[in-house]
């Protein structure tokens, strides 16, 4: 995957710069909404103007970023696809499966990577702002984040092993279909579903544990914000930031699992991305 970044560094730099600007804008929304509420309660419209300006700027950046992304990643996929198909050493089944894996990797960069970067920036911004608004809530967020990191670090090797088994089956798919043997196709499909079920069960277990931690954090945060914060707008801002934190922390493990899968795929495509 690092080879892809180095090879198409200019395109990645442009798209990721726009992602960072967009994420920074969205991160400021709860704070600006809270300021707007307190501004209206104080008979001022300044906060409303700030909210409107932020909304227009964030949306403009989001539109430009999506226009740039679709064109940049379409070119990357076409270039790498040509190089992959041009290689004649593997079987048709393997090359067909790896073309699908390549599409999955490029789609990750186009669709999931911006969301991943946005989640990381919003998570960092949320924690930073909460450290200024409410210290106990800030410490609670750090505790939950640390527990989540430990949980997914412990299950990372298992996720990689399951993805390796699934990708092995993908590479056998065309050969199984071309054989015309219903029993062979049935075995292949059952093996694929077996790996999918293992991945799904692991994801469900991890998500359930993290969500229990998040519910506890939300309950604690609402009580703590209502007790310690005087301004109504800032109480709302604290609660909204905790919701953002919960969303980011529950999404990041999903992206981590995707990254583990793509890292395994990348090993199969290394010769392709290193060519040219």
CB atoms < 10 A from the CB of 175, how many?
A: 16
CATH code of residue 47? 1.20.1560.10
**Is pLDDT at 265 greater than 80 in this prediction?**
no
Query: How far, in Å, are 37, 56, 128 from residue 47 at the CA level?
Result: 7, 14, 21
Query: How far, in Å, are 26, 30, 162, 182, 214 from residue 141 at the CA level?
Result: 19, 17, 31, 53, 9
Please tell me what DSSP assigns to residue 90: S
Rounded to whole angstroms, how far apart are CA atoms 208 and 221?
A: 20
The tens digit of pLDDT for each residue in 12-23 reads: 778 888 888 888
The tens digit of pLDDT for each residue in 123-142 reads: 888 888 888 888 888 999 99
List Cβ neighbours of 194 (8 Å cut-off, separation of 6 or more): none
List Cβ neighbours of 65 (8 Å cut-off, separation of 6 or more): 15, 18, 19, 21, 22, 114
**Is pLDDT at 185 greater than 70 in this prediction?**
yes
Confidence band of 98 (pLDDT split at 50, 70, 90): low
Rounded to whole angstroms, how far apart are CA atoms 49 and 32?
A: 10
CB atoms < 10 A from the CB of 223, how many?
A: 12
pLDDT (average), residues 26-53: 84
Q: Identify the domain containing residue 70 by its residue range.
A: 2-274
Confidence band of 275 (pLDDT split at 50, 70, 90): very low
For the record, the structure tokens of 205 come out as 């277990």
**How many structural domains compose the chain?**
1
Residue 101: phi, psi to the nearest 5? -65, -40
Rounded to whole angstroms, how far apart are CA atoms 248 and 116?
A: 9
pTM: 0.62
> How buried is 208 (Cβ within 10 angstroms: 0-12 exposed, 13-18 middle, 19+ buried)?
exposed
For the record, the structure tokens of 58 come out as 């964030």
Note the pLDDT of residue 176.
Answer: 78
């Amino acid at each position: 995957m690092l080879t892809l970044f180095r090879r198409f560094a200019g395109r990645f730099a442009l798209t990721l710069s726009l992602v960072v600007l967009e994420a920074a804008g969205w991160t400021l929304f709860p704070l600006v909404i809270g300021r707007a509420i307190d501004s209206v309660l104080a008979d001022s419209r300044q906060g409303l103007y700030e909210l409107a300006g932020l909304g227009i700027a964030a949306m403009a950046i989001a539109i430009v970023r999506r226009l740039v992304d679709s064109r940049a990643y379409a070119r990357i996929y076409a270039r790498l696809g040509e190089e992959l198909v041009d290689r004649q050493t593997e079987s048709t089944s393997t090359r067909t499966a790896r073309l699908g894996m390549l599409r999955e990797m490029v789609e990750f960069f186009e669709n999931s990577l911006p969301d991943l970067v946005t989640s990381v920036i919003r998570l960092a911004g949320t924690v930073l702002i909460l450290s200024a608004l409410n210290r106990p809530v800030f410490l609670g967020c750090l505790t939950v984040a640390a527990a989540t990191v430990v949980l997914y670090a412990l299950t990372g090797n298992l996720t990689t092993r399951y993805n390796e088994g699934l990708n092995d089956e993908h590479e056998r798919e065309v050969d199984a279909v071309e054989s015309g043997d219903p029993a062979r196709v049935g075995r292949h499909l059952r093996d694929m579903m077996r790996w999918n079920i293992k991945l799904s069960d692991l994801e469900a277990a991890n998500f359930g544990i993290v969500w229990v931690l998040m519910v506890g954090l939300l309950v604690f945060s609402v009580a703590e914000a209502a007790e310690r914060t005087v301004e109504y707008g800032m109480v709302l801002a604290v609660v909204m930031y905790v919701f953002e934190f919960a969303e980011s922390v529950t999404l990041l493990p999903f992206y981590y699992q995707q990254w583990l899968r793509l890292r395994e795929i990348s090993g199969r495509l290394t010769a392709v991305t290193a060519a040219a």
